[in-house]
Chain A
Amino acid sequence: MNLKLKIWRQPNKEAKGKFEVYEVEATPEMSFLEMLDVLNDQIIEEKGNPIAFEHDCREGICGTCSMVINGQPHGPMGLTTTCQLHMRHFKDGDTIVIEPFRATAFPVLKDLVVDRDSFDRIIQSGGFVSVGTGQAPDGNSILIEQEVAKDAFDAASCIGCGACVAACPNASAMLFVSAKVAHLAYLPQGQVEASKRVKRMVHQMDREGFGNCSNTYACEAECPKGISVENIAKMNREYFSSVIGSQKK
């Protein structure tokens, strides 16, 4: 199949970027990233500068791949990361527009590569349980209902890709932050620090320059792991009770 690609090229953080047009021949079995590999091979053959994009596991779990394809983060297929997208979902003759995730808190570093360090800093602000190595009681001394374990797991399956931010008209990080808050707040191990955690993480999120949540739910629709906006509701409850709790004190 012959494809026309309009790809965002930007040499570095400071530079102004622009779209450039490429043509590539792909086969339906290829993954989207393999199609870009083929294009890069072509560019290298012509001694050009290959397109920078990030990827690692290529099986939808590391959260590294991160591009917007035809206006959608991770492309047209639901519950699918870019690296899991295959060319059989495109047609011969298609034009595909590829650009980086766009958000103030995710500056573009080069071409399709963005800086997502802000996510790390949010986790560092409180997304953990304060338990040192060797301090843990026996695993079965903490009983956890299957349903609770399931809810915690669902929230914990976030891969930190940032598609939720890229999808949001306000570039809000609520879905990502709430997934972590909820994961730990569901579990008894995490409840001890729950109120401190939510306040710190929300504060850090604001400091990083992410926008506010206006309940458009675009994040949930584009999240490749199906993280639910219920987590946002849970986080809001956690947040309000933590604020009220601290006022009482």
Chain B
Amino acid sequence: MIKLDAKIPEGSLAEKWKKYKSSIDLVAPNNKRKLEVIVVGTGLAGASAAASLAELGYKVKAFTFHDSPRRAHSIAAQGGINAAKNYQNDGDSVYRLFYDTIKGGDYRSREANVYRLAEVSANIIDQCVAQGVPFAREYGGTLDNRSFGGVQVSRTFYARGQTGQQLLIGAYQALSRQVSLGNVEMYNRHEMLDLVMVENKARGIVTRNLLTGELKSHAAHCVVLATGGYGNVYYLSTNAMNCNVSAAWRAARRGAAMANPCFCQIHPTCIPVSGTYQSKLTLMSESLRNDGRVWVPKKMEDVEAIREGSKKPTDIPEDDRDYYLERKYPAFGNLVPRDVASRAAKDVCDEGRGVNKTGLAVYLDFEDAIHRYGKAEAYSAGKDSEDGELVRKLGTKVVEAKYGNLFEIYEKITGDNPYVTPMRIYPAIHYTMGGLWVDYNLETTLPGLFCIGEANFSDHGANRLGASALMQGLADGYFVLPYTIGSFLSKEIKTPAITDDSSEFKRVIEEVKTRLENLLAVKGDRSVDSFHRELGLIIWDYCGMSRNEEGLKKGRKLLKELKKEFYSNVFVPGEMNEYNPELEKASRVADFFELGELMIVDALHREESCGGHFREESQTEDNEAKRDDENYTYVAAWEWKGEEEPLLHKEPLEFENVELKTRSYK
């Protein structure tokens, strides 16, 4: 039976972390050497944690299914990382970052954790700079910032459009240093397929060597999961192809509570789906909405003409265009938050006004920006600002300087030139706020099992602000877990080395083996991908941008039927004991089925709209999301019960430092 205790320290918000750090039980250096920690995942969260724990003297074993830690999905983050440095002197502070995060999360996150995140954010930047991360600089040599995601201060640090890459390389190098010093044993191409509990403590994992197929158990005093998000349950997402939920889900099956699984973030500006073969969706940075105007045609005949190819978007006169974000949200216009922009795109496409063959795309148009910038340039250069061609040329240059690399990516993928024809975009799943429930120590409901980064649920509530995931991953790994893990390990200093020869380890290996053998034995007729695609569509249709009771129930039913077919008709080629990507995928999809069901259960129970979770039954008169603070100000932590209904546990959220307000962008 799960009991939720968030273990939030006493004291005022600003004092909690300081006091905690000075009062926590420490582990002496000679004891650290005897304590072993398994870190699964070496993205930003895992690599930073593994490196920091090893520096402290713990013996670390780190695992990744990638061929190198440098390939983790974190590498793909573009925009930047937030930190309350107030380098721009624009009034930023720890409190303001805390407040923006709580409000952005639609008041569904824990105050104490978020405040701590804001507090340590500044240290992250210092650490990364010292490692050699080449952040953007101003002329004077100081660090540059930009504003991101609709906040009023400039607190986002960035390295061109490759911030995630540069931060991950920094963490990877710190980890590599510890590997070279013998403090970290690195296991590449090893996928964790189960968790081993011994006497109700997380003491190890079972992995499959992805090259040889060998199953092996690994023991330690405690286990840290840093295995990323589960956006790929939707099949099509902006996540890397191999992202999956299995590590976290296996922990959930062993009794760890899964919190707010239905809180997923859908990003409004992605390149739309072009065909059934499509394997993934590419994000176009949010910054584009600073200058791009979103629209669809007003008239159905124009829509049809565009789809047939008899008209081009540039043929549609101004009056026949519906700049629907500007129309619906005059105050924020094209800059409304991610969830609002995404739903609005869905609405116009549901009305049938989508502008590509699939009917699922809207325009993001830079013509106005090109014109506006061009005029200003011509004017300031003393040239003729009425000369259309010149204005276009100058304006294009400005736009190129701002977004050149994004336009290039777009053209590479679609073959269209966005300087002359508007981009086509559509929302796609991008990030998952839900994850394993953790307390203030980042420990799950299973003693000795910690969870960090996107894999936990902790800091973003029902919606994450741009540039805050990188911050959270590195905060957890560099500055929080290395302290809080002591809360568990300080009680383990007398525990001798854990070995994997106990019956628990043997049993779990057998269970994993049977599970994989069963998948291979089905020998049906459908590929794993075909099931994954169909599963993704079910979740997208019924538990995506907009949810209602009837749809969710239907989705759950469809999902169960598909799952049944999966176990009787999937075809997994090859053998267990060889390099077998199809078997890897099959085992991940099997777990996605169960997680998907839990997402639906969670979405069904939360009869309010908040953040990324929009319940059609809970909206205002003008169709905006309606939160229900009276009944839903809690974290929903689910206990998975196998064939029985999942069991809900509630962690009430108490707001002592902020007032709950309604978001409005009208």
A interface list, Cβ under 8 A from B: 12, 27-31, 33-34, 37-38, 41, 44-45, 47-50, 52, 54-59, 61-64, 80, 84, 86, 88, 109-110, 113, 115-117, 119-120, 123-140, 142-146, 149, 152-153, 156-157, 159-160, 183-184, 187, 189-190
Is A129 touching B131 in the complex (CB atoms < 8 A)?
Answer: yes
Distance in angstroms from B649 CB to nearest chain A CB is 34
Chain A residues whose CB sits within 8 angstroms of the CB of B52 once the complex forms: 132-133
Complex CA gap A123/B169 in Å reads 10
Is B142 touching A140 in the complex (CB atoms < 8 A)?
Answer: yes
Q: List 13 A-B contacts (CB under 8 A).
A: A30-B277, A44-B573, A48-B573, A57-B76, A61-B162, A63-B70, A128-B177, A132-B52, A133-B482, A136-B123, A139-B128, A143-B140, A160-B68
Give 11 A-B pairs besides A131-B130, A131-B174, A133-B479 with Cβ atoms closer than 8 angstroms. A56-B241, A57-B75, A61-B75, A61-B76, A62-B72, A80-B412, A127-B176, A133-B127, A145-B137, A149-B136, A153-B159
Is A132 touching B166 in the complex (CB atoms < 8 A)?
Answer: no
Distance in angstroms from B486 CB to nearest chain A CB is 15
* B134 at the A interface (CB under 8 A): yes
Chain B residues whose CB sits within 8 angstroms of the CB of A113 once the complex forms: 579
Is A37 touching B279 in the complex (CB atoms < 8 A)?
Answer: yes
Indicate whether A27 sits within 8 Å of B275 (C-beta atoms), given known contacts A124-B176, A128-B173.
yes
Is B479 touching A58 in the complex (CB atoms < 8 A)?
Answer: no
Distance in angstroms from B356 CB to nearest chain A CB is 11
Chain A residues whose CB sits within 8 angstroms of the CB of B176 once the complex forms: 120, 123-124, 127-128
Complex CA gap A37/B211 in Å reads 20
Nearest CB in chain A to that of B283: its residue: A59
Nearest CB in chain A to that of B131: its residue: A129
Complex CA gap A157/B133 in Å reads 11
Chain B residues whose CB sits within 8 angstroms of the CB of A45 once the complex forms: 527
Which 7 A-B residue pairings sit nearest by Cβ, starting from the closest? A143-B141, A136-B130, A128-B173, A136-B126, A153-B134, A133-B52, A139-B129
Nearest CB in chain A to that of B180: its residue: A124
Complex CA gap A41/B526 in Å reads 9
Indicate whether A47 sits within 8 Å of B180 (C-beta atoms), given known contacts A84-B412, A149-B135.
no
Complex CA gap A123/B186 in Å reads 13
Distance in angstroms from A61 CB to nearest chain B CB is 5
Indicate whether A47 sits within 8 Å of B571 (C-beta atoms), given known contacts A12-B578, A55-B241, A133-B55.
yes
Is B134 touching A190 in the complex (CB atoms < 8 A)?
Answer: no
Distance in angstroms from B535 CB to nearest chain A CB is 16
Is A137 touching B130 in the complex (CB atoms < 8 A)?
Answer: yes
Is A157 touching B162 in the complex (CB atoms < 8 A)?
Answer: yes
Q: Which residues of B550-587 have CB atoms within 8 Å of chain A's CB atoms? A: 571, 573-574, 578-579, 581-582
Is A116 touching B85 in the complex (CB atoms < 8 A)?
Answer: no
Chain B residues whose CB sits within 8 angstroms of the CB of A157 once the complex forms: 162, 165
Is B55 touching A132 in the complex (CB atoms < 8 A)?
Answer: yes
* B66 at the A interface (CB under 8 A): yes
Is B68 touching A117 in the complex (CB atoms < 8 A)?
Answer: yes
Select one of A50, A58, A110 contacting B241, CB under 8 A: A58
Chain B residues whose CB sits within 8 angstroms of the CB of A28 once the complex forms: 415
Chain B residues whose CB sits within 8 angstroms of the CB of A129 once the complex forms: 130-132, 173
* B506 at the A interface (CB under 8 A): no
Chain A residues whose CB sits within 8 angstroms of the CB of B351 once the complex forms: none
Complex CA gap A126/B75 in Å reads 21
Distance in angstroms from A122 CB to nearest chain B CB is 9
Chain A residues whose CB sits within 8 angstroms of the CB of B68 once the complex forms: 116-117, 119-120, 160
Indicate whether A37 sits within 8 Å of B529 (C-beta atoms), given known contacts A52-B579, A88-B415, A128-B176.
yes
Chain B residues whose CB sits within 8 angstroms of the CB of A61 once the complex forms: 75-76, 162, 165
Indicate whether A58 sits within 8 Å of B240 (C-beta atoms), given known contacts A50-B582, A63-B70.
yes
Complex CA gap A39/B240 in Å reads 21
Distance in angstroms from A158 CB to nearest chain B CB is 9
Is A120 touching B188 in the complex (CB atoms < 8 A)?
Answer: yes
Is A62 touching B240 in the complex (CB atoms < 8 A)?
Answer: yes
Select one of B132, B174, B413, B578 contacting A86, CB under 8 A: B413
Chain B residues whose CB sits within 8 angstroms of the CB of A124 once the complex forms: 176-177, 179-180
Complex CA gap A51/B165 in Å reads 29
Chain A residues whose CB sits within 8 angstroms of the CB of B242 once the complex forms: 56
Chain A residues whose CB sits within 8 angstroms of the CB of B246 once the complex forms: none
Chain A residues whose CB sits within 8 angstroms of the CB of B71 once the complex forms: 56-57, 62-64
Is B274 touching A152 in the complex (CB atoms < 8 A)?
Answer: no
Is B127 touching A136 in the complex (CB atoms < 8 A)?
Answer: yes
Indicate whether A56 sits within 8 Å of B277 (C-beta atoms), given known contacts A120-B68, A144-B141.
no
Complex CA gap A160/B67 in Å reads 11
Is A34 touching B279 in the complex (CB atoms < 8 A)?
Answer: yes
Is B527 touching A44 in the complex (CB atoms < 8 A)?
Answer: yes
Chain A residues whose CB sits within 8 angstroms of the CB of B159 once the complex forms: 153
* B379 at the A interface (CB under 8 A): no
Chain A residues whose CB sits within 8 angstroms of the CB of B165 once the complex forms: 61, 157, 159
Chain B residues whose CB sits within 8 angstroms of the CB of A140 once the complex forms: 87, 142-143
Indicate whether A146 sits within 8 Å of B579 (C-beta atoms), given known contacts A136-B126, A153-B159, A157-B165.
no
Q: Which residues of B100-144 have CB atoms within 8 Å of chain A's CB atoms? A: 123, 125-132, 134-143
Distance in angstroms from B374 CB to nearest chain A CB is 26
| Contact digits for B526-538, partner A, Cβ 8 Å, 1 yes 0 no | 0101100000000
Chain A residues whose CB sits within 8 angstroms of the CB of B573 once the complex forms: 44, 47-50
Is A146 touching B141 in the complex (CB atoms < 8 A)?
Answer: yes
Nearest CB in chain A to that of B125: its residue: A139
Chain A residues whose CB sits within 8 angstroms of the CB of B275 once the complex forms: 27, 29-30
Nearest CB in chain A to that of B242: its residue: A56
Complex CA gap A146/B134 in Å reads 10
Nearest CB in chain A to that of B83: its residue: A139
Chain B residues whose CB sits within 8 angstroms of the CB of A37 once the complex forms: 277, 279, 529
Chain A residues whose CB sits within 8 angstroms of the CB of B160 once the complex forms: 153
Complex CA gap A131/B69 in Å reads 19
Nearest CB in chain A to that of B243: its residue: A56
Q: Which residues of B49-71 have CB atoms within 8 Å of chain A's CB atoms? A: 51-52, 55, 66-71
Chain B residues whose CB sits within 8 angstroms of the CB of A57 once the complex forms: 71, 73, 75-76, 240-241
Q: Which residues of B471-527 have CB atoms within 8 Å of chain A's CB atoms? A: 478-479, 482, 527
Residue from A130, A132, A137 having most chain B Cβ neighbours under 10 A: A132
Complex CA gap A133/B120 in Å reads 12
Is A64 touching B132 in the complex (CB atoms < 8 A)?
Answer: no
Chain B residues whose CB sits within 8 angstroms of the CB of A27 once the complex forms: 275, 277
Distance in angstroms from A123 CB to nearest chain B CB is 5
| Contact digits for B132-171, partner A, Cβ 8 Å, 1 yes 0 no | 1011111111110000000000000001101001100100
Is B412 touching A86 in the complex (CB atoms < 8 A)?
Answer: yes
Is A109 touching B129 in the complex (CB atoms < 8 A)?
Answer: no
* B444 at the A interface (CB under 8 A): no
Distance in angstroms from B561 CB to nearest chain A CB is 22
Nearest CB in chain A to that of B279: its residue: A34
Complex CA gap A4/B173 in Å reads 42
Select one of A34, A115, A142, A153 contacting B129, CB under 8 A: A142
Distance in angstroms from B70 CB to nearest chain A CB is 6
Nearest CB in chain A to that of B173: its residue: A128
Q: Which residues of B405-427 have CB atoms within 8 Å of chain A's CB atoms? A: 409, 412-415
Chain A residues whose CB sits within 8 angstroms of the CB of B87 once the complex forms: 140
Distance in angstroms from B403 CB to nearest chain A CB is 16
Indicate whether A128 sits within 8 Å of B141 (C-beta atoms), given known contacts A142-B129, A187-B132.
no
Residue from A86, A113, A145, A156 having most chain B Cβ neighbours under 10 A: A156
Chain A residues whose CB sits within 8 angstroms of the CB of B75 once the complex forms: 57, 61-62
Complex CA gap A55/B76 in Å reads 13
Is A109 touching B136 in the complex (CB atoms < 8 A)?
Answer: no
Is B571 touching A52 in the complex (CB atoms < 8 A)?
Answer: no
Is B415 touching A130 in the complex (CB atoms < 8 A)?
Answer: no
Is B67 touching A117 in the complex (CB atoms < 8 A)?
Answer: yes
Chain A residues whose CB sits within 8 angstroms of the CB of B55 once the complex forms: 132-133
Is B67 touching A110 in the complex (CB atoms < 8 A)?
Answer: no
Complex CA gap A197/B640 in Å reads 50
Is A62 touching B412 in the complex (CB atoms < 8 A)?
Answer: no
* B282 at the A interface (CB under 8 A): yes
Residue from B127, B132, B482 having most chain A Cβ neighbours under 10 A: B132
